[in-house]
Structure 1
C-alpha cells in the first residue's frame, strides 16, 4: 500500500477489510501502541473525510484513511467551538457548536467560526482566505461548509439548490407529534424586528418547504429528522411552530420549555456535489446525546 501525502495529511487506501486500530498499528510502525492510540483520541484520523476515534471502527477495501500530522493537530486544537470534519484545496467543512456565530460578531472581541478559520488558513500563507457559503444560526449546531477559493464559493452559492443533495437537521420539539412523517409549506416573510412569519398563501415572501420524519417521542417531546427543499432564514423554527410543536427552548417561535439548556436544533448531515471534483461528498456531525434523553418512552 502506497501512502499519498497532501500538505500535512497522509492518505492510505484500504486494500483488505480490517479495523482502524490494527490498521494504524500495522501502518505506523515507527510509533508505539500508546502513541497510535493518542493519534486516534486527538481526532487526527479520518475515514472517507469523517473524523473517527473508535478503535474498532471497521475498514473496507476502497476506503481512504487520512492521518493529519501532529503539527497540524496542534493548530486545530486552538479552535474554540468548532472542529474540522474535512479540508482540501477548495473547501473546509466544520462542525459548529451552539453559541458560535458563523460570520459577523456582535462585538469586537467575539470569536466567530469565520474568523477562526481565516486565522487558521493564513498560518500557512498570509494570502489565504476563507469565503462564506451558507450560515447556521448562533444557537444551531452542526455541519457547515466554507470555501477556500472565490471560484469554489461562487460555484457553490450560484448552484446551491442544485448541488446540495441532502440537508438534514435533527430537531427536538415540544409535544407528541402524531404523524410519523409530513411536509410543511408556506411563504416566509421577515418583519422589522427580524422575526419570520409564515403564510399559507403567496404574500410576496419566499416559498419554503420542510419535510420531517419522527425518530422517537413521548407525550412531552418528539425527536424529528428534518429535510429542507429550501433554506430560508429560521425556516425549520417557523414551520415547527406552524404544526404546533415548536423547537425546545425556541421562545421566539412559541416554545415554553428548555429541557436541554440549548436550542433543540442540530444540522446533522450535508451532502453536496464537490465544487472542483464534481463528486458527491457527504458529511455528518453526531447529534448531541442530550437530544435523546427526553424522548425515551
Structure 2
C-alpha cells in the first residue's frame, strides 16, 4: 500500500495516519509493530512510529507474509466456553502459560489450542502467539479470547485498543476497602529498582486505568471486582498493591508469607464481553471461580460468621 501525505494530514504521527488509512484495517498497535520491523518506509527509509508527517511525503506499507506456524500442538484438555468458525472463548486454569516463551515452550494454552484448531488460527501475532490478542498471567485463571482468522483478529484487536471489550476480574485482596468503589489511574512501567517487576512509574510508564468495586468484606480481606480500561502487564496486581491492598497469594506483589492455601494470586478473569466480528452481536461470557479461589473465599466467609 502506498500513500502520499495530504495537506490536512501533515503533522500527524506516522502510526496514527496508517491506522486511520490502511485498507487492511490494521490496528495502531500492529502498525507500530510493522514499523519497528521495517515493513513501513517513509520517503524510502525506515522511520519511527512517532515521526510527524509532511505534506507530499511518500509512505509505503509492505504486506507482511503470514508466518507458518511451527509451534506443535499438544493434547491438553481445554475448557471451551464458546466456539464458532471465527473465535474461541476458553477458561484458562491457574498455572498454565498462555503462549510459548523462553522457559515455557510446551504445555501452554497455545499448544492446546493448536491441537484443537490446527492451523485455523490468526497469524498476525506470529508463530509463538497464533490467535492471541490478549493475555492473562500464568497464575491468573479465567476467560481468554482466541481468534481463528486474521479478519476476526483485526476486528477484536481494534475493540481492545478502543477499550470496548468488557473485562471484569474478581480478586481477593488483603485488608478491608474503605470505599465501595473507586478508580485507580496511575501509569505502569518497569520497576526501576527491580526490572523483573512492574511498578507505578510516572516517568516512563504507560497509562493504566482500573475501576474497582467492593463485593464483600471480611475480617482482614475483601472480594473486589476490577474492570480494566487498559491492559498493562500485572495491572490489577500493581494497582491494588499501590492502594494498600495486595492480592492474596501474589508471589511478587503480595505478602511474603500468605496465610491461605493458594498457588499464585487470587485473581480470576470472570467476565468477558465483545462485539462478534462477523454478526455484530454483543456477546458476554462468565466463568465460575476455580476450586482454590473458592476454597479461600469460603474460608473467609466462614471466619466472618464466627
TM-score (norm: length of structure 1)? 0.67
Aligned length in residues: 213
- Are residues 1:290 and 2:291 paired? no
Structure 2, gaps ≥5 residues long: 1-74, 122-129
> Does the CA-based 8 Å contact 1:246-1:253 persist in structure 2?
yes
Return the offset for 1:294.
Answer: 3.6
Return the offset for 1:155.
Answer: 1.7
> Does the CA-based 8 Å contact 1:164-1:270 persist in structure 2?
no
- Are residues 1:79 and 2:84 paired? no
Q: In structure 2, what is the equivalent of residue 279 of structure 1? A: 281
Correspondent of 2:100 among 104, 107, 112: 104
Change (3 A) 1:159 1:109: closer
What's the CA shift string for 1:191-247, capped at 9, x where partnerless? 462311104xx4231111111111112222111111111111100000110111100
Q: In structure 2, what is the equivalent of residue 269 of structure 1? A: 271
- Are residues 1:178 and 2:169 paired? no
TM-score (norm: length of structure 2)? 0.65
- Matched residue of 1:154: which SS? helix
Return the offset for 1:175.
Answer: 1.6
Change (3 A) 1:208 1:108: closer
Correspondent of 1:128 among 111, 120, 132: 120
Structure 2 CA distance for aligned equivalents of residues 294 and 196 of structure 1: 30
Change (3 A) 1:109 1:196: closer
Change (3 A) 1:214 1:295: farther
> Does the CA-based 8 Å contact 1:92-1:147 persist in structure 2?
yes
Q: In structure 1, what is the equivalent of residue 197 of structure 2? A: 195
What's the CA shift string for 1:28-47, capped at 9, x where partnerless? xxxxxxxxxxxxxxxxxxxx
> Does the CA-based 8 Å contact 2:97-2:104 persist in structure 1?
no
> Does the CA-based 8 Å contact 1:167-1:269 persist in structure 2?
yes
- Matched residue of 1:253: which SS? coil
**Deviates most, 172-181 or 95-104:** 172-181
Q: Which has the higher strand share?
A: 1
Please list, as runs of the form range in 1=range in 2, the aligned pairs for 1:128-277 lying within 5 A after superposition: 128-129=120-121, 130-162=130-162, 164-191=164-191, 193-199=195-201, 202-256=202-256, 257-262=258-263, 263-277=265-279
Change (3 A) 1:189 1:218: same
> Does the CA-based 8 Å contact 1:223-1:291 persist in structure 2?
no
- Matched residue of 1:266: which SS? strand
Q: In structure 2, what is the equivalent of residue 61 of structure 1? A: none
Moved over 6 A (4+): none
Change (3 A) 1:79 1:120: same
> Does the CA-based 8 Å contact 2:76-2:107 persist in structure 1?
no
Return the offset for 1:163.
Answer: 6.3
Structure 2 CA distance for aligned equivalents of residues 258 and 104 of structure 1: 32
